[in-house]
Structure 1
Amino acid sequence: MLEEYEFILSLKLLEFEIRQITSYTSAFPKCYTMLKNKLDDLSDFIYKEENIQNWPLWQSNIEVQELSRNVREASIRALRVLEKYQAGHGEKDEIQQSKYMDLLSDSVRSEVACLQIVQQSKVLFIGSGAFPVSALIIAQVTGAEVVGQDLDQEAVELAEQAAAMSDRINRVSFTHQPLKELAFVQEATHIIVASHVANKQEVLEDLRQLASSRVKISIRYGNGLKSLFNYTWPEGNHLPGWTQSRASTVSQLYDTVILEKAMQMKEV
């Protein structure tokens, strides 16, 4: 019982500290380093073996569920704030060196191999953010054409600045157009939905109508402890017209489910 209370207290402290440090960044830029370190602490908390083992025992606790949602909202907001700062300050800022970025880079490379993205591929990344690490790594590793989409216009403008420092800028572009107005959706061979996109089901419904019958869709998500830093995906989620396969490893910051239209699978 004591361990459970300690876990609950840890969640409360994480939420409080992340929210407070995020608010401090507007007054004192040095607090961005504090924020980066606190998000790294959250990553360590998610990977802590003791927490992983105990989560099944405590996940049904109503207070744990509420605190987990609060930590997720605080951490996702903090990451967006941090990304905008990083994108606006270029490679000179030491803040870019973080455990989170290292883990994300490894996860993206693993995802590229799993999805079999090659130079001829056309990749749409939904929820690319202001500091588009995933989009840039995909372009750099594969040479594929990549379009990052985000509804936040400021994030798109900052992502373009970050991409300008990359040697793959001609293969990467960004837009804040809604999916229904974006012609590239129909051209895409691969579509990746970021784990920080909350309305995944709505996005998937749009893609059902707009995307090619041969597209591969990777939905990033995080359940269990990973839900502290990612929006969830229902276990056993039945999606008529889609085939699903899991592609996840313990080392990743997020898990992924790969969707393909059932028509495509019948043709193979």
Structure 2
Amino acid sequence: MLEEYEFILSLKLMEFEIRQITAYTKAFPQCYTMLKNKLDGLSDFIHKEENSQNWQLCQSNREVQELARTVREASIHALRVLEKYQAGHNQKDEIQLSKYIDLLSISVQSEMQCLHLDEESKVLFIGSGAFPLTVLTIAEETGAEVVGQDLDKEAVELAEQASAMSEAASRVTFTHQPLKELGYAKEATQIIVASHVENKHEVLEELRQLANSQAKILIRYGNGLKSLFNYTWPEENHLPGWTQRSGSSATQLYDTIILEKALQMKGV
């Protein structure tokens, strides 16, 4: 029982500190390093075995469920703030070398292999954010054409600014167009949905109408403790019309699932 209360308290403190430090960055730019360190601390918290055990014991507790939601909202907002700062300053400093960025870089490498990306690929990244690490890594290392889509216009503008000096700048594009208005969605051979996109089922329903029949769709998500930093995906999610298989989760930053449209049986 004591462990349960300690776990609840740690979640409350985590949320409070993330929200407070995020607010402080508006007045003191030096606080961005504090924010980076706090998000790195959250990554460590998620991967600690003791916390995984406590989660298994407490996950049915309604207070823990609500705290997980509020920590997630605080951490995702904080990461967006941090990404905008990094993209706007366009400099290689300690923020870029954060543990989160290191783990994300490794995850992208794994995803490129799972999706078999090459120079013939046309990739759409939904929820690309302000700091275009995924977009640029794919374009630079595979030669693929990549479009990053995000509904946040400021994030799109900052991503364009951050990618302007990249060797792959001519192969990447960013847009804040709604998915249903984006013609590229029909051309894409591979589609990635960011873990920080909340309405994944709505996105998938739009892709059901838009994506071509051969497209592979990789969805990033986080359940359990990983839900403190990622939006979730229902376990054993039944999706009529789709085949699905687990992707790689080598870095434990988030999990992935790969979807493809199921072949329709022809009448005889």
- TM-score band, normalised by shorter chain: over 0.9
Deviations 1:142-165 (A, max 9, x none): 110000000000000000011112
Q: Secondary structure at the match of 1:52?
A: helix
Question: TM-score under structure 1 normalisation?
Answer: 0.97
Corresponding position of 1:192: 192
Q: Secondary structure at the match of 1:130?
A: coil
Corresponding position of 1:24: 24
Tell me, in whole angstroms, the C-alpha distance in 1 between the residues paired with 2:205 and 2:182: 15
Sequence identity percentage: 77
Structure 1 segment 47-66 matched on structure 2, within 5 A: 47-66=47-66
Retained in 2: the 8 A contact 1:83–1:131?
A: yes
Corresponding position of 2:174: 174
Retained in 2: the 8 A contact 1:104–1:252?
A: no
Structure 2: 5+ residue runs without aligned partners?
A: none
RMSD value, Cα: 1.3
Q: Secondary structure at the match of 1:217?
A: strand
Whichever residue aligns with residue 224 of structure 1, its letter is G
Retained in 2: the 8 A contact 1:214–1:264?
A: no
Measured after TM superposition, the shift of residue 92 of structure 1 is 4.2
Deviations 1:149-205 (A, max 9, x none): 000000000000111121110111100011111110010000000000000000000
Structure 1 segment 225-264 matched on structure 2, within 5 A: 225-249=225-249, 251-263=251-263
Retained in 2: the 8 A contact 1:189–1:214?
A: yes
Corresponding position of 2:224: 224
Retained in 2: the 8 A contact 1:22–1:81?
A: yes
Corresponding position of 1:99: 99
Retained in 1: the 8 A contact 2:114–2:248?
A: no
Corresponding position of 2:131: 131
Structure 1: 5+ residue runs without aligned partners?
A: none
Count the aligned residue pairs.
Answer: 266
Tell me, in whole angstroms, the C-alpha distance in 2 between the residues paired with 1:249 and 1:197: 18
Tell me, in whole angstroms, the C-alpha distance in 2 between the residues paired with 1:87 and 1:171: 19
Question: TM-score under structure 2 normalisation?
Answer: 0.97
Measured after TM superposition, the shift of residue 54 of structure 1 is 2.7
1:34 correspondence with 2:37: no
Whichever residue aligns with residue 138 of structure 2, its letter is I
- Which range moved further: 250-259 or 43-52? 250-259
Deviations 1:186-240 (A, max 9, x none): 1000000000000000000000001100000001100000000000000111111
Corresponding position of 1:81: 81
Measured after TM superposition, the shift of residue 3 of structure 1 is 1.2
Tell me, in whole angstroms, the C-alpha distance in 1 between the residues paired with 2:239 and 2:4: 36
Measured after TM superposition, the shift of residue 139 of structure 1 is 1.0
